[in-house]
A and B are shown apart, each in its own frame.
Chain A
């Protein structure tokens, strides 16, 4: 198949950047989106051009490294998958595909489609952990956990921190990410110990880093490759109020 790519090219954080058009022939529908970009890069290198810089790692949808804004949607048009799982057969022959990096003030572009997502790490460092004296592993059943809560906590844990929620949100808010991280601890007894400090520190850090405010549009939930639910945001709000009041 033939596709017309319009890819955001930007030399470094300081340069302005612009869309560059690539007419790309010989794309196989079996390719994943990233494999298509690999093929494009091979072609660019052979022609003596600079290859397109993009983030990728596991290519199994579990690491959260890949992520680009494809035709106006993070990770492309298919719900519940990451860019590496996006198949080229989802595009029509001769389709024009716009590829942009995540756009948010706390996610500055490093090069082309790669953005600096260390803002998420800073949020995690602020409170996304439990303090414990590590020794040998405790017995799995030493602390009883209600099955339903463990399940919901697990559903929150599967957030891979790819940043699609920030990219999709019209306000560039990181609330869905943050709420998933707050929830995964808030629901378990081990996380309750520092629950109060955690939620406050993480919200404060998120605001400090310049993420936008949540306006409950639900775009994050709609675009999340791991289908993290908005109910996490409500839980995070509850945790925050609880921490402030008590």
Chain B
């Protein structure tokens, strides 16, 4: 099995590449979401329609799902191998990790995966026609959903978890690529921190505005 998934270095490279690809996708997703803040449903619905119908996007969608799958499968494999590598745990442990959230990546990842499934159920499966819903008016669907307090809370908590996951993931990917430099690594870490704050905050602000101000 080790052979198929590659050496420990290769596996990390696969994780990092898939992770950065998903990080790039989040920016695209957020940009479209920001149309939701307009009082006019048209721009968002048009964007959603474009994402649903453009043939190039269709190809990209398959690639994206591949990215998700690879990131999840390789992540789980890595974690299982890492658990096996220490069959007997320590009685006393002291948290000396310099990257705090790195310790919890698998758990954060699993929570994000559960959220992703709910998110697919809410939107993506509707688009695919697997779940009933109004294809042409995603704008209203979003507004209906975020008027439910439970969904608002679930979404907000998920984005906090995502922020933690991204905080380690972003800078970690560059270390895996072999980029570790006295001058540039602090810059990468700073960009990672800004990204992991701004992007989840951007996603979070939309349901908050919808719930309280619309």
Write the residues of chain A forming the contact surface with B, with a CB cutoff of 8 angstroms. 6, 19, 69, 71-73, 77, 98, 100, 103-106, 168, 170-173, 175, 203-204, 206-208, 210-219, 221-223, 230-231, 233-238, 240-241
Is B96 touching A103 in the complex (CB atoms < 8 A)?
no
Is A230 touching B88 in the complex (CB atoms < 8 A)?
no
Task: Specify which of A100, A231, A237 is in contact with B90 (CB 8 Å cutoff).
Answer: A100
Closest to A229 in B: B180
Is B85 touching A211 in the complex (CB atoms < 8 A)?
yes
Size range of the chain B interface in the assembly: 35 or more
Min CB gap B48→A, angstroms: 36
Is B12 touching A214 in the complex (CB atoms < 8 A)?
yes
CB neighbours (8 Å) of B103 from chain A are: 170, 217
Is B78 touching A103 in the complex (CB atoms < 8 A)?
no
Is B97 touching A72 in the complex (CB atoms < 8 A)?
no
- Kindly count the residue-residue contacts between A and B in the assembled complex, taking CB atoms under 8 Å apart: 128
Cβ of B89 within 8 Å of any chain A Cβ, yes or no, is: yes
Is B82 touching A172 in the complex (CB atoms < 8 A)?
yes
Is A103 touching B88 in the complex (CB atoms < 8 A)?
yes
Task: Specify which of B2, B84, B102 is in contact with A215 (CB 8 Å cutoff).
Answer: B102
Is A168 touching B88 in the complex (CB atoms < 8 A)?
no
CB neighbours (8 Å) of A71 from chain B are: 92, 94
Given contacts A103-B89, A230-B180, contact A173 B8 (CB under 8 A): yes
Min CB gap B166→A, angstroms: 14
CB neighbours (8 Å) of B180 from chain A are: 230-231, 233-235
* Residues 137 to 181 of chain B near chain A (Cβ within 8 Å): 168, 171-172, 175-181
Is A240 touching B9 in the complex (CB atoms < 8 A)?
yes
